[in-house]
Amino acid sequence: MKETATYTEAELIAGCVRGDRNAQRQLYERYASLMYPVCVRYLGREDAKDVLQDGFLTVFDKIGTYKGEGSFEGWMRKIFVNACLMRIRKSDALRFTEDIVESPELGGVEEYGVLEQIGSREILDLIAQLPTGLRSAFNLFALEGCSHAEVAKALGMTEQSSRSQVSRARSLLQKKIKELYNGKK
Amino acid sequence: MERNEFDKLLRDRLEGVSLPAPDVWEGISAGLARRHRRVILRRFATGAVAAAAGLAAALLVFRGPQPGRQAEAPVRFAHAVQPVAPQEPSAAPVRDIAPIAEQIAAFTKNQVTAQATAQKAAESAAAGTEKADATVPADAVSPVTDSPADSTTPAEVTSPAGTQPVATPDNPADTREPGQLTQNDLPADFWREDSPDSRTHTSQISILSNLTTVASDDDLIYKAAPMHSSSQTGNRAASAVEPVSGSPKFFSPLSLGLQLTLPLTDRFSVSSGLTYTYLVSQYDMLVDKVRYDGAYNQLHYLGIPVSFSWHFVQTPSFGFYASAGGAVEKCIAQRYVFASNTLREKVGGLQWSARAGLGAEYWFVPRMGLYFDPSLVYYFDNSQPLSIRTQQPLQARFEVGLRFKL
């Protein structure tokens, strides 16, 4: 059996396609720490653990469909994002999300330096603290690069609602970042 | 800072960020094992269905020579006269052979084949005509005797010393013309291509489907579709879905299966096999405390039925029987469809049921027949998801199918 370090990504994928449990284990160990933050961004640390497990099961189930187009990490990320959205839909957290009239920015982060002073994991946790609807829309639009039409379709809302949610989420996040930054000073 | 700039900066900060993940490999490994078992089960079921279909097709296409009456009788007669040869002297008079063959031809209604046989016999007899007292070998007119139980032996037909002597002037009690052959001279089962007992002594395979009574609102309706079933209380353990009281609808169950029947005695047989059942229900439900009206629940069951049958009427073409038994089924998949979402949930436990009923079968060709098996089925409460089985545990079921003798 091949040692972990000597597996290339292609070999790992081929092993997983064959159902090689060792390859699956290595793939999990290599990517779990990269996919976990994606889950945390959408669900918070509490639910992220469950989705991390479900996401890997889906990855192993669908890995045969990966054709090598684009990065494998990006392909995996899409699966985990979808798994997170499924969990959110299942919990129906978006059902009672009301359209929010776009509100003015609650005081932006004027300086680039402010974000530089805050660690990535702290930013992750701040995003995870956002209300579910705002968090989902903001993740998809601002961090995954989806259009408002795509966000609306994914979350079952109107484009106008998507714009409102993203704007509101951005404002809240900026406020939280500022508070954290001020607290550190 | 512009919005786009803020988003971009945020993306850059979070690009490639990693967090120590909780160890969930054990759960993943268990999930993979479960999926593997499911794949094996699916392959087994697919293989079983394919094998059954192939077997059925093979029986239909490659049955070979029909053992039916029309085809089999000439073979017997041909065998009967074949040994007649002028160079083989025997104890029976040769002059009896041609009329016997002619009468046999009349019995079989297969004029062409039998007449040819008679002609051949006559020619054979003519070849030995000069010898007025020539005899036929002891087995010359022997009916096909597959077993010693046959009531007629070659000696009985051809020898005056037999228990059923051929009519001769020496036997005034017998009014038959000399050489006349009656049906009594033939084996008891001569005209049957298969004896009734052999029905129950033959293993059979059945392809079946069921029609099940379906409850809709408060009424029972019958829908023509292969079987599926249901139950009410749901997967009580740790389900995110909770049925809401209302007016559930239960769609016609779909059920297909294969059964193998093995004879135990002349009239007693046991059957078992594999059935697949698909149940669809529609009702209002709470999913994580959120209500969805008219959501669907789909259940897939694999089951193993076992039943015992008592054949109280058995003719070559028809059979009537009573049967009783039970089945154990496992829900292999459950899916809820609400709004545009789907949710899969595992279903634990087994669904047990008991059934009793009457059945009729009709063999329209020697090795293939139709059967109709109405019965009452009772589904025990085994904490299965809401369906017609839980809503209405006692159901009338109408099973129809094809049976093939192996």
Mean pLDDT taken over chain B? 68
Domain enclosing residue B118, as ranges:
69-185
User: Could you tell me if residue B13 is inside a domain?
Assistant: no
Selected residue with higher pLDDT from B265 and B210: B265
What angle (nearest 5°) sits at the alpha carbon of residue B202, between those of residues B310 and B328? 55
Residue of A89, A112, A142 lying closest to B341 (CB–CB): A89
Lowest mean pLDDT of A92-96, B177-181, B272-276, B308-312, name the range.
B177-181
DSSP B389: H
Query: Cβ(A35)–Cβ(A55) under 8 Å?
Result: yes
In this structure, which amino acid lies at residue B15? E
User: Could you tell me if residue B2 is inside a domain?
Assistant: no
Per-residue pLDDT, B127: 52
Q: Are residues A152 and A100 in the same domain?
A: yes
Residue A28 C-alpha from the chain's centroid: 17
Indicate the residue among B123, B152, B185 that finishes a domain.
Answer: B185
Find residues 84-143 of chain B whose CB sits inside 8 Å of chain A: none
Mean pLDDT of A13-25: 87
Q: Are residues B299 and B361 in the same domain?
A: yes
For chain B, percent of residues with pLDDT exceeding 70:
54
Instruction: With cut-offs at 50, 70 and 90, classify the pLDDT of residue B140.
Output: very low
Task: CATH number of the domain at B357, please.
Answer: 2.40.160.20
Indicate the residue among A46, A64, A91 that finishes a domain.
Answer: A91
Mean pLDDT of B121-139: 48
Mean pLDDT of B157-161: 40
Phi, psi at B147, each rounded to 5°:
-145, 155
Per-residue pLDDT, A140: 92
Q: Are residues B248 and B365 in the same domain?
A: yes
Domain enclosing residue A7, as ranges:
1-91
Residues 6+ apart with CB under 8 A from B12: none
pLDDT digits (tens, 9 = 90+) for A87-96: 888 776 555 4
Selected residue with higher pLDDT from B90 and B274: B274
DSSP A19: T
DSSP B294: E
Separation of alpha carbons A133 and B180, rounded Å: 100
Query: Cβ(B389)–Cβ(B363) under 8 Å?
Result: no
Report how many domains make up chain B: 2
pLDDT digits (tens, 9 = 90+) for B162-211: 444 444 444 444 455 555 555 555 555 444 444 444 444 577 777 777 76
Query: Cβ(B329)–Cβ(B294) under 8 Å?
Result: no
Residue of A32, A90, A143 lying closest to B288 (CB–CB): A90
Report how many domains make up chain A: 2
Q: Are residues A99 and A166 in the same domain?
A: yes
Separation of alpha carbons B193 and B187, rounded Å: 12
Q: Are residues A74 and A104 in the same domain?
A: no
User: Could you tell me if residue B116 is inside a domain?
Assistant: yes
Query: Cβ(B260)–Cβ(B204) under 8 Å?
Result: yes
Handedness of CA B150, B154, B158, B159 (dihedral sign): negative
Mean pLDDT of B116-124: 55
Task: CATH number of the domain at A99, please.
Answer: 1.10.10.10
Q: Are residues B263 and B390 in the same domain?
A: yes
Separation of alpha carbons B130 and B107, rounded Å: 30
Asked if residue B113 has pLDDT above 70, the reply is no
Phi, psi at B169, each rounded to 5°:
-60, -20
Instruction: With cut-offs at 50, 70 and 90, classify the pLDDT of residue B8.
Output: confident
Per-residue pLDDT, B218: 40
Q: Are residues A81 and A47 in the same domain?
A: yes
pLDDT digits (tens, 9 = 90+) for B322-365: 999 999 999 999 998 877 678 888 898 999 999 999 999 998 88
Mean pLDDT of A38-65: 90
Three-state DSSP class for A110? coil
Asked if residue B212 has pLDDT above 90, the reply is no
Task: State the complex-level ipTM.
Answer: 0.78
Q: Are residues B266 and B331 in the same domain?
A: yes
Selected residue with higher pLDDT from B138 and B319: B319
User: Could you tell me if residue B53 is inside a domain?
Assistant: no
Please, which residues bridge with residue B256 across strands? B209, B276
Q: Are residues B222 and B76 in the same domain?
A: no
- Interface check A176 vs B, CB under 8 A: no
pLDDT digits (tens, 9 = 90+) for A27-50: 999 999 999 999 999 988 878 888
Three-state DSSP class for B318? strand
- Interface check A3 vs B, CB under 8 A: no
Contacts A36 to B, Cβ<8 Å: 18-22
Residue B140 C-alpha from the chain's centroid: 41
- Interface check B22 vs A, CB under 8 A: yes
Indicate the residue among B185, B212, B247 that finishes a domain.
Answer: B185
Lowest mean pLDDT of B177-181, B215-219, B248-252, name the range.
B215-219
DSSP A105: P
Q: Are residues B221 and B102 in the same domain?
A: no
pLDDT digits (tens, 9 = 90+) for B22-45: 888 888 888 888 887 787 777 777
pLDDT digits (tens, 9 = 90+) for B37-79: 787 777 777 777 777 677 666 666 655 444 444 444 333 333 4
Mean pLDDT of B388-405: 86
H/E stretch holding B309 reads strand B290-314
Asked if residue B216 has pLDDT above 60, the reply is no
Selected residue with higher pLDDT from A155 and B308: B308
Lowest mean pLDDT of A74-78, B15-19, B136-140, name the range.
B136-140
Chosen from B1, B5, B12, B288 to mutate, greatest number of chain A CBs within 10 A: B1
**Which tokens hold the place of A160?**
């106008």
